[in-house]
Amino acid sequence: MFVQSTNMARRNSDLDQTLKAAAEGDVLANERLFALVYDQLHEIAKRYMQRERAGHTLQPTALIHEAWLKLMTPATTSRYQNQEHFIATAAVVMRQILVNHAKAKRTQKRGGDASRRPFLELADEFETAAVDLLALDEALARLSELDPQQAKLVELRFFGGLSVADAARALGISSRTANYEWAHARAWLRSQLEE
pLDDT digits (tens, 9 = 90+) for 65-81: 888 888 887 667 777 77
Q: Report domain extents, the chain.
A: 11-112, 116-195
| pLDDT(150) > 80 | yes
Q: Which DSSP state fits 166? A: H
What's the CATH number for 11-112? 1.10.1740
pLDDT tens digits, 179-188: 989 988 888 8
pLDDT over 90 percentage in the chain: 5
**Amino acid, single-letter form, for residue 106:** R
- What pLDDT digit, counting tens, does each position of 39-68 carry? 889 888 888 777 766 666 678 888 888 888
Per the model's pLDDT, the better-predicted residue between 18 and 53 turns out to be: 18
Contact 41, 90 (CB under 8 A): yes
pLDDT for position 106:
66
- pLDDT for position 176: 92
- Residue 130 is predicted with a pLDDT of 44
Q: What is the pTM of this model?
A: 0.57
CATH number corresponding to 116-195: 1.10.10.10
Is the predicted pLDDT of residue 6 greater than 60, yes or no? no
Residue count (the chain): 195
- Number of neighbours of residue 136 by Cβ within 10 angstroms: 23
Please name the residues in contact with 35: beta carbons below 8 A apart, sequence gap of 6 or more: none
113 secondary structure, DSSP code: P
Q: What is the pLDDT of residues 97-121, one digit of tens each?
A: 888 877 777 665 544 444 444 333 4
